[in-house]
Amino acid sequence: MGTDQATRLRELAAGMDGREDHVDHGARRPRGDATPAFGSGGAGEVRTLAHATAFVSGKGGVGKSNLALNLAIALSCRGRRVVLFDADLGMANLDVLCGLAPHATLEDVIRGRARMHDVLVTGPGGFQLLPGASGVAAMANLDGLSRRRILSQLSLLDDVADHLLIDMGAGISSSVIPIAAVADRVVVVTTPEPTAMTDAYGVIKTLVNRGFGSRLELVVNMAQSNEEGLSVHRRIARVVHEFLGATLRLAAVLPHDQLLSHAVRVRKPVLLAYPHAPITRGIDQYARTLLGLPVAGSDEAISAAPVPAGAGEPPSRSGFFKRLSRLLKQGD
């Protein structure tokens, strides 16, 4: 059997290669001080700036937006201040998934009709949604005046969030690279579908080649079983290790659950519509992992009433929006 990259990608999609190379697929979060476990701080620390997680995918339809939305609810219901940024500027739809009709979006900020804080709207479960601007190609391609309007306000959002979740558009566009460059972690979402796996590898390859490999994690969504999800990760991680020389960590395996489709149809997040559903338990365990909480037996229902915030904040760091502002200012 050939060992060239094209052959290995075909094996990746088809599952033809039965080898189970060890590629550190058990890690649940990045190592080192640059990306500590959420909730690891203590008394006396300076209040944290937003810890940014960007969600990307190789193709649409893998559940990336629903994951970002419901993870925002899970973190918010555990007392964290969360801003969910709909950064799919071409096809923004998180407001629809929430059943919201925002009076303003990022486009109003760009056009000078509103301030960033005016655009934020409270979503179900208590997080703050920054609605995207459908039809705006990318922040990096805005004219100088529009860019300055955003840059004058972006850093303010670091003061209202502990966690910033960014739902990026599918594929690699000019808007994805600047976000990935300054996010604390980049989560690639895929499913066991062969085309989703190969497209996910394409995104991973681009990000690794841009130098973001140390911050990459994989979520396998819509898995029929935990074993299937682990197998998908092993296959992708093996090709990433062999051809890119990088280690791809596994963030979570989430189950295929028809109740998620039902929740989308009624425009209500699944964590609130079906608090005991398998997908709800899976996303909540993912949130608990991010917060450094135990996950064994964590099958209690999600409550829409958040607990008091303020305990267990992570250490202070350079804010995401400040880093993004500096990046976007380059070339002005």
pLDDT of residue 8 exceeding 70:
no
Per-residue pLDDT, averaged over 132-157, amounts to: 62
What pLDDT digit, counting tens, does each position of 311-325 carry? 233 333 456 666 666
48 within some domain: yes
Q: CATH no. for residue 118?
A: 3.40.50.300
Instruction: Report the percent of the chain where pLDDT is more than 70.
Output: 64
Output the pLDDT for position 220.
Answer: 97
pLDDT of residue 31 exceeding 60:
no
10 within some domain: no
Better-scored residue on pLDDT, 153 or 120: 120
DSSP secondary structure code for residue 20 in this structure: -
Instruction: Provide the residue range defining the domain that includes 147.
Output: 22-29+42-304+313-329
pLDDT of residue 112 exceeding 90:
no
Cα(41)–Cα(188) distance, integer angstroms: 27
Per-residue pLDDT, averaged over 105-110, amounts to: 80
Output the pLDDT for position 18.
Answer: 44
pLDDT of residue 19 exceeding 90:
no
What pLDDT digit, counting tens, does each position of 216-265 carry? 999 999 999 999 999 999 999 999 999 999 999 999 999 999 999 999 88
153 within some domain: yes
Cα(23)–Cα(236) distance, integer angstroms: 10
Strand partners, 133: none
1 within some domain: no
Local confidence band at 40 (pLDDT 50, 70, 90 cut-offs): very low
pLDDT of residue 70 exceeding 80:
yes
Lowest mean pLDDT among 57-71, 212-226, 296-310: 296-310
pLDDT of residue 29 exceeding 80:
no
Residue carrying structure tokens 């860019």: 147
The continuous run of DSSP H or E covering 146 comes out as: helix 144-154
Residues near 28 by beta carbon (within 8 Å), at least 6 away in sequence: 249, 250, 251, 289
229 within some domain: yes
Instruction: Report the percent of the chain where pLDDT is more than 90.
Output: 39
Per-residue pLDDT, averaged over 29-36, amounts to: 32
3 within some domain: no
Q: How many domains does the chain have?
A: 1
pLDDT of residue 44 exceeding 70:
no
SS3 of 255, please? strand
DSSP secondary structure code for residue 84 in this structure: E
Local confidence band at 150 (pLDDT 50, 70, 90 cut-offs): low
123: its two tokens: 């979503």
Indicate the average pLDDT of the chain.
Answer: 76
Output the pLDDT for position 85.
Answer: 87
Strand partners, 250: 218
306: its two tokens: 């958040």
14 within some domain: no
pLDDT of residue 170 exceeding 70:
yes
108 within some domain: yes
